Structure 1
Amino acid sequence: MADITPRPGLSIALPDMPPTPLHARLDACGSDAQALLTTFEDICAERFGVMLFTVLQWDPSRDEIQRVHSNDPDHYPMGVWKPMGPTPWGAELLKAGRAVLCHDEAELRWAFPDADLLVRLDCVANLSAPVCQNGRVLGVASISNVSGHYMSNDLALYATLVQYLVPVFSKTSL
């Protein structure tokens, strides 16, 4: 198994940030899960650039995540369970509640044991952040783009925006 030591500059704790107009757009969606997903993806496309957007629900009893949303269901279908809890990525996001940035293929392979498809699709840069409620990780939202696309300063804003996705994880919203 890979070293689970956090890599310098690769992960951050959830930051406190003042609200921005992007936050206000998500606030306007209320608890409508579909509106939140659509607006969130639109914001990410505008602000960060997105080739792949997925949302994954965390089940700590199974130590696995399940994909509950994907903008590319042909390659990343919903309902798939993945054992990401025991990975370095899982240690950072799911267990420590820290957002993770992968700049390039080496960092992507550190994070994802199944990185081959992402590499083939040229989705090598990745921002992943935990969606938390009352200190508990409910799941993760991830966006991907070409190598080097995301920068360290993107991670803090992204990590605050994903917190608006909490309603996506309620049983009645899915």
Structure 2
Amino acid sequence: MTDLSRVESEVSAAIGVRLFTVLAWIPERRAMRRVYSSHPEQYPVGGEKTVEIAAGWLEQCIEKQQPYLGADREAVRAVFADAELIGSLGCGSVINVPVVDGRRTLGALNILDAEGSYDDTSVAAAVELAPLAVPALRKVVDAR
């Protein structure tokens, strides 16, 4: 089991998850690169998000290192250009948690499930699990 599949298993056990991806932050391009995916056909490893990232999301999750909770489909649509694909996978709520090493943002965990699945308690649990992704993301980010 890879480090990131272990993180997925821990998240699934703690709060549940239908779609789980891990993105590495590439600050020089203001881009997020997918390094792990529970659904590689729809969300392949290596895929990048740049233009479609909502500015408010970037500021909150990457720059301020605060989690984002999108509890319903409307909140998911507000920040994700691929909200239709997300919905087709049965997902209508999201938690994005920054993965932080010291003061450096390495990337983010994207945790999605059915609409209404997550609340502040779920976010707190996800924040507690995010450090498990630090070693794997550190390798990816430092290898660039």
- Which of 1 and 2 has greater Rg? 1
In the alignment, is residue 106 of structure 1 matched against residue 106 of structure 2?
no
Q: Which letter maps to 1:63?
A: R
Range 37-46 or range 131-140, more displaced: 37-46
Structure 2: tracts of 5 or more residues without a match: none
State the distance in 2 between where 1:59 and 1:168 align: 15
CA contact (8 A) 2:77 2:83 kept: yes
Shift of 1:85: 5.5
- 2:121 is matched with 153
Q: Which letter maps to 2:88?
A: R
- Where in structure 1 do 4 or more consecutive aligned residues deviate above 4 Å? none
The RMSD of aligned alpha carbons is: 2.0
- 2:92 is matched with 124
Structure 2 counterpart of 1:68, from 27, 32, 35: 35
Range 118-127 or range 141-150, more displaced: 118-127
Structure 1: tracts of 5 or more residues without a match: 1-32
In the alignment, is residue 97 of structure 1 matched against residue 65 of structure 2?
yes
With normalisation by structure 1, the TM-score equals 0.75
Q: What is the 5 A alignment of 1:50-89?
A: 50-83=17-50, 87-89=55-57
Please list the CA deviations of residues 24-53 of structure 1 after superposition, one character each: whole Å capped at 9, or x if unmatched: xxxxxxxxx81x222221121122111111
Shift of 1:163: 1.4
CA contact (8 A) 1:85 1:91 kept: no
With normalisation by structure 2, the TM-score equals 0.89
CA contact (8 A) 1:55 1:69 kept: yes
- 1:10 is matched with none
| Secondary structure at 1:68 match in 2 | strand
Identity of aligned residues (%): 30
State the distance in 1 between where 2:80 and 2:24 align: 16
Please list the CA deviations of residues 89-148 of structure 1 after superposition, one character each: whole Å capped at 9, or x if unmatched: 212111111101111011111221221210122211111100001111000011110000
